[in-house]
Amino acid sequence: MNELYPWQKDDWTRLQSLRSRASQGLLFQGQKGIGKLELAINYARALLCEHPLDDGFACGKCAACHWFEQGSHPDFRFLQPESETEESDAGKKPSRQISVDQIRGLADFMGMTAHQGGRRVVIIHPAEAMNANAANALLKNLEEPPAGLLFILVTHKHQALLPTLLSRCLAFGLAAPDAATATRWLAAQGIKNPADALAVSGFSPLQALQSANGSDAREKLLCAVRQPQTLDVFGLAEALQKTEQVQVVQWLQQWCHDLISQKLAGRLRYHPDSEAAIRELVAPLDPLNLARLQSVLQTAKTESQHTLNPKLFLESLLFTYCQLTKPCHL
């Protein structure tokens, strides 16, 4: 991969000078949505690579690089809130925090020696998601760190971290791009009004890209669901598979809410601009089917946090939608 955002070249060069330092905690701090995590991952991969290139990047060819790509490098751990992993048990409310158990779960990892005899890396993202217990547990690890183990804490809210934790880490500030650089980059990603998109996002280029892609996806979805009889399920699922699944289900829930609301009360909440289309669509529909659709979407919302195959998940959901929005006289 080895791809940096254009505004990260200096950061990368500065990082190379830290390679040989024995520092056990690095704090990547900087504005939201500028690629801090991506830089941390690139750095971790480069530290673990057996034959790093002259510019410090991982070679992409050695066994370590291969393991890293597969997500199975034995000397690497990535901690994030459970809500962002797919392993939390169904039914259990996913947590937005990084728990003390997750930090304690590193104990075995910390007790081992590095498989490659060199570095081991733990990335914690976002670091401010650690609750007080987790932060204290981490602090102990930072006080007596095993040799060669590097913690990279990634945050855009370093003021929310324990001062004791901050004092144990070497702060590494990441540069935000200037508006011109960010605008050029957004334009190169195919964003239509890059300067506006950047301003609306609070000058966070990655967020600007995400919301521009998101509104594109929402438009596609809403355009398609108006005409269930001609909806191209496979094509739409393909187009939406990279959008966050929870988000897609939520858009469908809002749409379904308005179908029901129009049918029963003649009112709309989320799509006031589509009144004529919705009125026409719901006229021949069985209200019971709409209630079924609502319940299917409710279940899908939970499932969407664990789905491993977004395309298949969406196909099944869209087929159900088409099924339940067939005029009842057919």
- Rank residues 53 and 160 by Cβ distance to Zn ion and give the closer one: 53
Pick the closer one to Zn ion by CB: 52 or 194.
Answer: 52
Choice between 49 and 237, CB closer to Zn ion:
49
Which residues are CB-neighbours of 169 under 8 A, at least 6 positions away?
A: 25, 26, 27, 142, 151, 153
Cβ 42 to Zn ion, closest distance in Å? Answer: 12
In the complex, least distance from residue 59 CB atom to Zn ion, rounded to whole angstroms? 4
Comparison of 51 and 269: residue with beta carbon closer to Zn ion: 51
CB 213 within 8 A of CB 197: no
Integer CA distances (angstroms), 39 to 58, 72, 192, in order = 12, 19, 26
Minimal distance, residue 63 CB to Zn ion, in Å: 8
CA distance 43 to 64: 13
230 contacts: CB under 8 Å, gap ≥ 6: none
Closest CB 187 distance from Zn ion, rounded Å: 33
CB of 123 to Zn ion, least distance (A): 18
Looking at the Cβ atoms of 116 and 141, the one nearer to Zn ion is 116
Residues that bind Zn ion (CB under 5 A): 49, 58-59, 62, 65
The secondary structure of 290-322 as a DSSP string is HHHHHHHHHHHHHHTTT-S-HHHHHHHHHHHHH
Q: Which is nearer to Zn ion, 68 or 321 (CB)?
A: 68
Residue closer to Zn ion, measured from CB, 60 or 214? 60
Cβ 108 to Zn ion, closest distance in Å? 25
SS3 75: coil
Q: How far apart are CA 1 and CA 144, in angstroms?
A: 33
Instruction: Give 113's DSSP letter.
Output: P
Q: How far is CA 110 from the centre of its chain?
A: 27
Query: Least CB distance from residue 39 to Zn ion, whole Å?
Result: 18
Beta carbons of 30 and 174 less than 8 angstroms apart = yes
- For residues 280 and 247, give the distance between their C-alpha atoms in angstroms, rounded to a whole number: 26
Q: How far is the CB of 113 from Zn ion (least distance, A)?
A: 20
Q: Which is nearer to Zn ion, 65 or 124 (CB)?
A: 65
Angle value at C-alpha 243, between 257 and 88, nearest 5 degrees: 85
Is residue 245 within 8 A of residue 314, CB to CB? The reply is: yes
Which CB, 65 or 174, lies closer to Zn ion?
A: 65
Side chain identity, residue 20: S
**Shortest spacing between CB 52 and Zn ion, in angstroms:** 7
Spatial CA neighbour of 56 closest among 13, 116, 23: 13
Torsion sign over Cα 110, 114, 120, 124: negative
